[in-house]
Copies of this chain bind each other. A is one copy, B any other.
Amino acid sequence: MLPTTATDRRAETSVPLVDVLAERWSPRAFDPDGVVSDEQLTAALEAARWTPSLANGQPSRFVVGRRGDDTFAAILDSLAPGNAEWAHSATVLVANVAEVTDENGAPRTRHEYDLGQAVAHFTVQAHADGLHVHQMAGFSAEALRESFGIPARFEPLTVSALGVLGEADTLPERVRARESAPRSRKPLGDLVHRGTWN
């Protein structure tokens, strides 16, 4: 049987994590009838809004579409085929956009970093509400620019699928195996340095 519940895919850690982080993972199988309430969507966006950022510059923007509306359709159209083939079942698609230069043309720094933080907080709030998020980098930023009229000083960096976890056996065969493959990360010792780098 393929694991399709969050608890089946809990992160393997040397010490316990808070549940919302331990149980978070990025599914491809979303329930095509899954419901995300307006309050749940707003909460995830509020979480992103209150994320810290460099000098409180708040460079993160979100183009939000619900399944069935034109915004969702345009974001779905922008996705690489390998993402579109499963992301159509998400309830919400969000294009995550960073402000690269400010209103006066001055280049920002850490806008990519800060957008990553904002999407992380969005994700934590959504998972705390029993939803799931899968972020994608495979999409056409140019297509999003054209569809929505995104100004040049903003840059779409990722797209998030948000929805209700679905059944793995509804996925195209090519990605079905990945849905149940063991989750893996580098050992903690490869990521953490003390004293010197080596």
Bound CA–CA A129/B165 (angstroms)? 28
- Name A110's closest neighbour in chain B (CB-CB): B137
A 12-54 binary contact with B (CB < 8 Å = 1; else 0): 0111111011101010000000000001001101111111101
Q: Given the complex, which residues of B lie within 8 Å of A63, measured CB to CB?
A: 192-194, 197
Given A49-B188, A71-B195, A135-B52, A39 and B15 touching (CB < 8 A)?
Answer: yes
Cα distance, A113 to B138, chains bound together (Å):
15
- What is the count of identical protomers in the complex? 2
Q: A197 vs B149: C-alpha distance in the bound complex, in angstroms? A: 6
Decide if A104 is an interface residue (CB 8 Å cutoff).
no
Say whether B15 contacts A43, CB under 8 Å: yes
Which 9 residue pairs across A and B have the least CB separation, nearest first? A116-B116, A120-B120, A113-B116, A112-B112, A18-B128, A13-B46, A11-B50, A117-B120, A116-B117
* A86 CB–B CB distance under 8 Å: no
Q: Which of A17, A149, A151, A198 is packed against the most chain B CB atoms within 10 Å?
A: A17
